[in-house]
């Protein structure tokens, strides 16, 4: 069974940090791209960052560049999203997703095959 399980969300003050984790199982982690998305009620799901599991090439959406860092531990089949200097506009439900390697860098949700259940990030001002 394919599973992606996010963890690490919570409440943080503006300027603070959180590290999200995405633990994957049930598929060949080494040949997938893993992306992080976020969504707030009433808005479309927004791509945040992605990483290619083969060469660890990373991609970031403009709103998070310089503040977020994505990394992968292939031995643990886990991808992390370190989020620093959080802003109130970063508050959302964060999802990780797995898609084909050729879609690494894509923020189109339709390119991703598997999704986690999401973890809530709340940023107080």
The answer, yes or no, to whether residue 3 has pLDDT greater than 90, is yes
User: 29-38, 53-62, 84-93, 96-105: which has the highest mean pLDDT?
Assistant: 84-93
Looking at residue 101, its pLDDT comes to 86
Query: What pairs with residue 10 in β-bridges?
Result: 121
Give the CA distances from residue 6 to residues 26, 35, 46, 55, in Å, rounded to whole numbers and listed in that order. 15, 12, 16, 22
pLDDT digits (tens, 9 = 90+) for 25-65: 998 888 899 999 999 999 999 999 999 988 889 999 999 99
**Cα angle for residues 34, 61, 120 (degrees, 5° grid):** 65
- Of the candidates 84, 92, 91, 88, which has an alpha carbon nearest to the alpha carbon of residue 18? 84
Instruction: Kindly state the average pLDDT of the residues 102-125.
Output: 94
Instruction: Kindly state the average pLDDT of the residues 119-123.
Output: 98
Give the CA distances from residue 44 to residues 38, 90, 119, in Å, rounded to whole numbers and listed in that order. 9, 14, 16
Alpha-carbon span 120 to 125, nearest angstrom? 16
pLDDT band per the 50, 70, 90 thresholds, residue 77? very high
The answer, yes or no, to whether residue 13 has pLDDT greater than 90, is yes
User: 23-27, 100-104, 118-122: which has the highest mean pLDDT?
Assistant: 118-122
Looking at residue 57, its pLDDT comes to 93
Give the three-class secondary structure for 88.
Answer: helix
Burial class of residue 117, CB neighbours in 10 A (0-12, 13-18, 19+): exposed
The answer, yes or no, to whether residue 87 has pLDDT greater than 90, is yes
């Amino acid at each position: 069974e394919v599973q992606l399980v996010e963890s690490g969300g919570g409440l943080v003050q503006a300027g603070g940090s959180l590290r999200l984790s995405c633990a994957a199982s049930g598929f060949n982690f080494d040949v997938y791209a893993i992306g992080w998305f976020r969504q707030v009620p009433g808005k479309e799901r927004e791509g945040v960052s992605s990483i290619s599991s083969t060469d660890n090439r990373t991609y970031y959406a403009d709103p998070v560049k310089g503040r977020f860092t994505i990394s992968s531990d292939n031995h643990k089949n886990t991808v992390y999203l370190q989020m620093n200097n959080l802003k109130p506009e970063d508050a959302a439900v964060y999802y990780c997703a797995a898609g084909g390697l050729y879609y690494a860098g894509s923020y189109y949700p339709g390119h991703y095959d598997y999704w986690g259940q999401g973890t809530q990030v709340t940023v107080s001002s």
